Amino acid sequence: MSWTQLTSAHDGAPLPAYRVAAQGPRRGGLVLVQEIFGVNANIRALADRFAQDGYDVLAPQYFARLDPHFDGGFDEAGLAKARAAVTATPWDQVAADTQAAIDTLASAGGPVFVAGFCWGGTVAWLAACRCTGLAAAAGFYGRLIIGLLDETPRAPIELHYGARDPMIPMTDVDKVRAAHPGVPIHLYPAGHGFFSDRSADHDAVQADLAWARTRAFFDTHG
């Protein structure tokens, strides 16, 4: 595990990314997209877990233009910092940054996937719609997908939502389903962030189920 540097075609900016090599039989490459808090310990641990499952992982630091070592923190001040970073980061830039990571992983051969959580869940949707060279994507509780429903995925994507998520009304999930009926949507009896063991809403049983579904989805489309 180490840090590497990508170059975004959006503006030529350097883009730090946490990198972990696959362990055991290689399944392909995976772009892991952060929550709003940056490539923090939680995301790095998740990258390590994907690597243990056979993926070469890149986790770009999407807010590096604001702070190369961005870490929003989970307190009120950290949350405010993270929300400001989201506002300052346009989707065109995000798509180009994701493409840089996809292209880097693709150069090693094999399929490339995207998995994103919270803000990253929306980025996974964006990548499926705009990026090339992507085998499949998985988006977890992407609240902002509702604002991108006029875009159509070009790569297979599945979505995961907590049915008790106060941040994402089920009416929004219904709108996603109605706009894109071919996209698999999984609902879990859990709240927002249920996949993260650092979340108050963490549900280990539902997280394991979502993990198994994601692996199976990637295996199907790899």
pLDDT of residue 195: 93
Contacts of 14 (CB under 8 A, 6+ apart): 5, 6, 7, 64
pLDDT of residue 198: 82
pLDDT of residue 98: 98
> How far is it between the farthest Cα atoms of the chain?
43
pLDDT of residue 200: 84
Kindly report the CATH class assigned to 2-221.
alpha beta
pLDDT of residue 53: 96
Domain ranges of the chain: 2-221
The Cα–Cα gap between 118 and 145 comes to 10
End-to-end CA distance of the chain: 24
The Cα–Cα gap between 59 and 86 comes to 17
pLDDT of residue 104: 98
pLDDT of residue 38: 96
pLDDT of residue 74: 86
Instruction: Report the C-alpha dihedral over residues 27, 213, 133, 147, rounded to 10 degrees.
Output: -150
Each of the 222 residues of the chain gets a pLDDT tens digit; together they read 799 999 999 999 999 999 999 998 999 999 999 999 999 999 999 999 999 999 999 999 999 999 999 998 889 998 999 999 999 999 999 999 999 999 999 999 999 999 999 999 999 999 999 999 999 999 999 999 999 999 999 999 999 999 999 999 999 999 999 999 999 999 999 999 999 888 888 999 999 999 999 999 999 999
The Cα–Cα gap between 155 and 76 comes to 36
Contacts of 145 (CB under 8 A, 6+ apart): 121, 122, 125, 139, 159, 176
pLDDT of residue 63: 98
